[in-house]
Amino acid sequence: MKAEEQLKQTMQQEKLSDDAKKRILEASLRAAQASRAANAESMAANAKPERTKPFYMRPLFIRISSCVAACAVILLIVLAVKNANSVQKDADDRAGQAREAATERYDPAQTVQQNVPTIAASAPDSSVNTGVENYLDSDVAHDGELSPDDEPLYITIQSGAGLNAFAPTYKKDSKAKFICVFPTDYEKQRELFQLIAIPLIADLYVEEPVYFVTNSVTEEDGIITVSGYRTNSLGYTMEADGAGETASGTEHEGVASEDRASNGDTFEGTAFVRRFQKDPVTGEYVLIEE
């Protein structure tokens, strides 16, 4: 007999006894019962009452709050963009206005029409060194000298005494290119000066960019007469009001004649006279005589 056959024959005689089977079955059944009991106990222990989710954990609330948050974010973005555009637009407007104003500052004719700030000298009976002061609608105040940044495009001075006080401080590279010298009774003629004299000088300056000294505006029988001088130097004293004549300037007492000569300045001014009449239809003053 082969070994494997002998092995089979021998081993097949080995069987579980009935007692062993009974013992094994009982043990298995006890184990099964204990397992079921343990499972039941575990399930009972794990069986918790159904908890109600708080409102903020409910899906509907989460969805709605998400939508609201998204809308709020979008709204904030839109508002921010709008605000940025508005700010940019304001900045652009301001920049445009500044550019426009700067451009106009170099156009005396237009400047006069738009009430560009002016500076008036002191009254004739005031002390010489009172200086230039804000007179019309300028916000700029000066103490005897003009600041290049604040300097207006034209200067109004009340009478020759004011000019005497102002001229030594005036610089040739000043932005103010023409001067209106008012008569002593300026207050009576203020409207005429603003309506007629200043625009007139602005026009004249465009044609001939020199200094204009306007020393009288009179009205008689509806005719407004503007008289003054044009000159390329301010270094002389106005001695008398006049119209229709050529005035010879005298050397300013505060400026040495040698210095003036070395600068190539002349001291002569050419008188000018313009007469206007009010148009009854349009109400504008029309030039009737040069």
Partner 1 sequence: MSYNRLQQEEHIAHILDTYGDLLYRMSLSIVGNRADAEDMVQDTFVTYAEQAPEFPDEAHEKQWLVKVVRNNSLMLVRKNKNRERILSEQAEISVGRDADYGILEVLDSIPEKYRTVLMLHYVEEYRVEEIAKVLKKSVSAVKMRLSRGRDMLAERYKEKMQ
Which residues in this chain contact partner 1 in the complex, by CB under 8 A? Answer: 2-16, 20-21, 23-25, 27-29, 31-36
Nearest to 166 by CA among 111, 127, 210: 127
Work out how close the CB of 47 gets to partner 1 at its nearest, in angstroms, rounded to a whole number: 21
Nearer to partner 1, 2 or 51 (CB): 2
We find the least distance from the C-beta atom of residue 22 to partner 1, in angstroms, to be 10
Nearer to partner 1, 8 or 188 (CB): 8
CB of 8 vs partner 1, minimal distance in Å: 5
d(CA 185, CA 165): 19
Q: Which H or E run contains 277?
A: strand 268-278
Nearest-approach distance from CB 53 to partner 1, in angstroms:
33
Give the nearer residue to partner 1 in terms of CB position, either 40 or 71. 40
Q: Which is nearer to partner 1, 10 or 46 (CB)?
A: 10
Residue in 160, 156, 143, 158 with CA at minimum distance from that of residue 253? 160
Taking the complex as a whole, the smallest distance from the CB of residue 46 to partner 1 amounts, in Å, to 19
How would you classify the pairing of strands 268-278 and 247-248?
A: antiparallel
Residue closer to partner 1 (CB basis): 13 or 114: 13
Decide whether 38 or 223 has the Cβ nearer to partner 1: 38
Burial 102-140 (b: 16+ CB within 10 A, else e): eebbebbebbbeeebbbbbbbbbeeeeebbbbebbebeb
Please name which of 113, 112, 93, 111 lies closest in space to residue 102, comparing C-alpha atoms. 111
The widest CA-to-CA distance across the chain, in whole angstroms, is 165
CB of 63 to partner 1, least distance (A): 40
